[in-house]
Homo-oligomer: A and B are copies of this chain.
Amino acid sequence: MRPFLSHPFDDDKLKEECGVFGVIGVTDAANFVALGMHALQHRGQEAGGIVAYDPETGFNNARRFGYVRDNFTKADVMATLPGSLAIGHVRYSTAGSKGATAIRDVQPFFGEFSMGGCAVAHNGNLTNATQLRKELIERGSIFQSSSDSECIIHLMARSIQKNIPERMKDALRAVEGAFSVIAMTRTKLIGVRDPLGVRPLVLGKVGDDGYALSSETCGLDIIGAEFVREIEPGEMVVISKGKVESSRPFGSAKSRFCIFEHVYFSRPDSILGGRSVYETRRQIGVELAKESPVEADLVCPVPDSGTPAAIGYSQQSGIPYAMGIIRNQYMGRTFIEPTEQIRNMGVRLKLNVNRALIRGKRVILVDDSVVRGTTSRKIKDMILDAGAAEVHFRIASPPTAWPCFYGVDTPEREKLLAATMSEDEMRDWIGVDSLKFISLDGLYRAAGEAKGRDKTCPQYCDACFSGEYPVAPSDQIAKGFAMKAAE
């Protein structure tokens, strides 16, 4: 009776590593932060933390493993987080961290400086953190976590600036990579996005005097905040006493927002760069149907992330949309393997085929991406076991052939199916009648770029598809990572 070590299905997805949320100028701010984190839960399910400030009791924090709904909904926990200013972070903890120590890795991080305390929450990944950490340790900093993000607070602690926003500028000028950072002092809520704006961050208005910062707009919706605008790439906002001050400490660069946020990471009800995520995904299905049509009886999504693209594919192709695979909505993280007999059932705990519907049909399955391909094979098996006549996979993203170093958990490059196989080889390995990915240009068109991808200066970061990294991943290169050869 060996338990599964992890969720059998999610193993085969790229994982966003974080979501951040902060609010100022409202009573019981931590409750708002908990709601915002709940709306951002899809960006990090392993753990969450909140720091709140109250003039009477000072900075308080709570960090927990598990879902927001199971931790930050308890009156006894929330009662420890009084005050009108709070920030929070949800986290996907990477494979390396181990049980007892990993709570140290849960953000926000906190530092007491001579001019007062400061808490910092970071979404993204610093590509020169290994080197920074080494240098900071040499000079006497004591790290409490294994997180790259902790460098920011130590850099701030050593800054000679006299106020915290200036110390944060000092610190962020020293780091490389992707960051959307929310921070707080005793009186200020701070938000910053890296010069390329790889990760999202939006500003909202709450009530009369309050403001909120959130990774996505769905975090604003849940607390009834009004969407104001996106924080711009390279912008810092400092919010205090109902005022928002903006500055641009890092000069200016052309935005390279992560296109995978549109494909999979963000919630379909969020709005990114002025575009509905749902509509972009539906449009991907439309493009896919144009690029890769096939005769079939049904268009079925692989639930839930393939649903909008499947709707688009059905609408464009005229082939009926159907729920051929049903998702168990009570699925948790682990399950006991009963016996050898059903050792490999994995996917069945989460998904079940609608047998009566599928039998004898030619089925188009629409999924968001193929990473290792292992899940695609299992789903194909389920569909064929249920008696499907043909199985055609249509994928709502281009082949994922390169790892992300900007805040997404990806396998090593050699484990990415598309890094080692052609599209036809993948089709044969998965064992389906056809397999088609959307083209990079098709994806850009669906995302609103009518002319497709600008090859000389791409509108998005698409390194996971193209291998073109907008910021050199220096720590990785030091460890031997081979960049794509120039063409």
Q: Residues of A with Cβ closer than 8 Å to B?
A: 1-3, 26-28, 31-32, 34-35, 38-39, 41-42, 45, 57, 60-62, 67-70, 72-75, 78-80, 98-101, 111-114, 134, 137-144, 153-154, 157-158, 207, 218, 221-224, 267-269, 271, 275-276, 278-279, 282, 304, 307-308, 311, 315, 320-323, 326, 328-339, 341-342, 345, 348-349, 352-357
Closest 10 CB pairs of A and B: A31-B338, A276-B356, A69-B332, A140-B158, A269-B326, A41-B330, A140-B157, A111-B142, A269-B352, A269-B354
Q: Are B338 and A28 in contact (CB under 8 A)?
A: yes
Which residue of chain B has its CB nearest to the CB of A82? B1
Q: Are A321 and B323 in contact (CB under 8 A)?
A: no
Q: Please report the C-alpha to C-alpha distance between residue A354 and residue B330 in the assembled complex, in whole angstroms.
A: 24
Stoichiometry (number of copies): 4
Q: Are A323 and B45 in contact (CB under 8 A)?
A: no
Q: Are B35 and A78 in contact (CB under 8 A)?
A: no
Q: Please report the C-alpha to C-alpha distance between residue A101 and residue B68 in the assembled complex, in whole angstroms.
A: 19
CB of A443 to closest CB in B, whole Å: 19
- Please judge, given known A-B contacts A1-B79, A31-B1, whether A338 and B223 are in contact too, CB under 8 Å: yes
Determine which of B99, B154, B279, B342 lies in contact with A140 in the assembled complex, contact meaning CB atoms within 8 Å.
B154
Q: Please report the C-alpha to C-alpha distance between residue A218 and residue B242 in the assembled complex, in whole angstroms.
A: 54
Residues of B within 8 A of A322 (CB): 282, 311
Which residue of chain B has its CB nearest to the CB of A320? B315
Q: Are B267 and A336 in contact (CB under 8 A)?
A: no
Q: Are B154 and A138 in contact (CB under 8 A)?
A: no
A-B contact pairs, 14 of them (CB 8 A): A26-B339, A26-B341, A34-B338, A38-B335, A80-B98, A80-B100, A114-B138, A140-B154, A140-B158, A142-B157, A223-B345, A224-B348, A271-B355, A276-B355
CB of A99 to closest CB in B, whole Å: 6
CB of A487 to closest CB in B, whole Å: 37
Q: Are B308 and A323 in contact (CB under 8 A)?
A: yes
Q: Are B304 and A41 in contact (CB under 8 A)?
A: no
- Please judge, given known A-B contacts A31-B339, A69-B335, whether A323 and B345 are in contact too, CB under 8 Å: no
- Please judge, given known A-B contacts A45-B330, A276-B357, whether A323 and B311 are in contact too, CB under 8 Å: yes
CB of A264 to closest CB in B, whole Å: 14
Residues of B within 8 A of A331 (CB): 69
Q: Are B142 and A140 in contact (CB under 8 A)?
A: no
- Please judge, given known A-B contacts A101-B61, A112-B143, A345-B224, whether A73 and B330 are in contact too, CB under 8 Å: no
Determine which of B32, B222, B332, B345 lies in contact with A352 in the assembled complex, contact meaning CB atoms within 8 Å.
B222
Which residue of chain B has its CB nearest to the CB of A34? B336
Determine which of B111, B154, B157, B336 lies in contact with A31 in the assembled complex, contact meaning CB atoms within 8 Å.
B336
CB of A435 to closest CB in B, whole Å: 25
Q: Please report the C-alpha to C-alpha distance between residue A32 and residue B341 in the assembled complex, in whole angstroms.
A: 11
CB of A401 to closest CB in B, whole Å: 29
Residues of B within 8 A of A41 (CB): 328, 330
Q: Are A326 and B268 in contact (CB under 8 A)?
A: yes
Q: Please report the C-alpha to C-alpha distance between residue A141 and residue B320 in the assembled complex, in whole angstroms.
A: 59
Question: Considering residues A138, A141, A338, which has the most beta carbons from chain B within 10 angstroms of its beta carbon?
Answer: A338
Q: Are B352 and A221 in contact (CB under 8 A)?
A: yes
Determine which of B137, B153, B304 lies in contact with A329 in the assembled complex, contact meaning CB atoms within 8 Å.
B304
Which residue of chain B has its CB nearest to the CB of A351? B269
Residues of B within 8 A of A111 (CB): 142
Q: Are B34 and A342 in contact (CB under 8 A)?
A: no
| Given contact pairs A221-B348, A268-B354, a sample of 9 additional A-B residue pairs in the complex whose CB atoms are under 8 Å apart | A26-B339, A32-B338, A35-B338, A57-B98, A67-B332, A73-B335, A222-B352, A282-B322, A321-B321
Residues of B within 8 A of A34 (CB): 335-336, 338
Residues of B within 8 A of A320 (CB): 315
Which residue of chain B has its CB nearest to the CB of A325? B269
Q: Please report the C-alpha to C-alpha distance between residue A326 and residue B41 in the assembled complex, in whole angstroms.
A: 14
CB of A13 to closest CB in B, whole Å: 14
Q: Please report the C-alpha to C-alpha distance between residue A153 and residue B141 in the assembled complex, in whole angstroms.
A: 10
Determine which of B100, B158, B355 lies in contact with A269 in the assembled complex, contact meaning CB atoms within 8 Å.
B355
Residues of B within 8 A of A157 (CB): 137, 140-142
Q: Please report the C-alpha to C-alpha distance between residue A154 and residue B141 in the assembled complex, in whole angstroms.
A: 8
CB of A306 to closest CB in B, whole Å: 12
CB of A6 to closest CB in B, whole Å: 13
Which residue of chain B has its CB nearest to the CB of A308? B323
Q: Please report the C-alpha to C-alpha distance between residue A74 and residue B34 in the assembled complex, in whole angstroms.
A: 28
Q: Are B311 and A321 in contact (CB under 8 A)?
A: yes
